[in-house]
Amino acid sequence: MSGKVIVVTGASSGFGNLTVLELARRGHTVVATMRDVDGRNAKVRTDLVEAAKAEGHNLQVLEMDVADEVSVNATIDQVFEQHGKIDVLINNAGLMPVGITEAYTVTDIERLFAVNFFGAVRTDRAVLPHMRAAGSGLLVHVTSLMGRVVFPFFGTYSASKFALEGLAEAYRYELKGFGVDSVIVEPGPFPSNLIASSPEPSDQAVLATYGAVAAVPGQIKAHANEGQGEANPPRPQRVADAIADLVEATDRRPLRTVVMPEGLDFGVHRLNEAVRPIQNDLLTSSGMSDML
């Protein structure tokens, strides 16, 4: 199998970091993107490049801020100029606020959506004209189990992931005739730095009115940090493996791929299976079955 040219967003840590290394191991040409590659993430860039080189693989790291359209367009143009194509875009960049939903201001939520939702809008729009012209391509959207179910105190995060699910599914139907596929990966609660780096809500006046309930998000974060020291923690590499398998699939890819830590089941599989025939019937009754 010939390698593909793949762009991954949010590659500085977590699933993105593991995914770029896994794809490089499998012989693909991987462009890992992140912010601040000459500053805060300079060591991350060096570590990624050296890790790939030590195994005999090539991996490129480029500056890209998905919240900045100029940055996105410039980086995607650079990749096309250098490699002549982009076969796969993996939208992984994201933030995870954990807090009292009402206490997140409109500005707070706009900042979140700039990354979690509009970041994918920007990158998808940057690559899609080239993919449609080529008659092939793959968009991978990393959402979450909280893009399908809702937990208290994760309301703004769930809202952004629900939105991303809707975007990705609409692309799935509309792009089929162009040979471009759009899929969704729904990871479960794997260890990551997302909760530790959770953006705090800005409206302190609202927080003060919630009494003891306002302390619960802090308890969630503390519990997540304690879980990092488990003897046998869930393996986030499973998410990277699932993404790489989707990239290399030769049959029709599933719209949604759920990746849960072993032994956990939050009902997302069952929810997806229940919704699928309803969605299919909707398109079929509307005369759009060819888009399925």
Give me the pLDDT at residue 58, please: 84
Q: Is the pLDDT of residue 227 over 70?
A: no
Q: From start to end of the chain, where are the E strands?
A: 5-8, 29-34, 59-63, 88-91, 137-142, 180-187, 256-259
Q: Is the pLDDT of residue 48 over 50?
A: yes
Give me the pLDDT at residue 1, please: 46
Residues recognised as catalytic: 157
The share of the chain scoring above pLDDT 70, in percent, equals 97
Give me the pLDDT at residue 24, please: 97
Give me the pLDDT at residue 268, please: 98
Amino acid at residue number 6:
I
Radius of gyration of the chain (CA): 19
Q: Is the pLDDT of residue 88 over 60?
A: yes
With the C-alpha atoms ordered 124, 130, 133, 137, is the resulting torsion angle positive or negative? negative
Average pLDDT over residues 78-85: 97
Reported as a single tens digit per residue, the pLDDT across 232-257 is: 778 999 999 999 999 999 999 999 99
Give me the pLDDT at residue 192, please: 84
- Asked if residues 89 and 138 have their Cβ atoms less than 8 Å apart, the reply is yes
Give me the pLDDT at residue 108, please: 98
Give me the pLDDT at residue 73, please: 98
- pTM (global) more than 0.75: yes
Burial of 283 from C-beta contacts in 10 A (0-12 / 13-18 / 19+) = middle
The mean pLDDT value of the chain amounts to 95
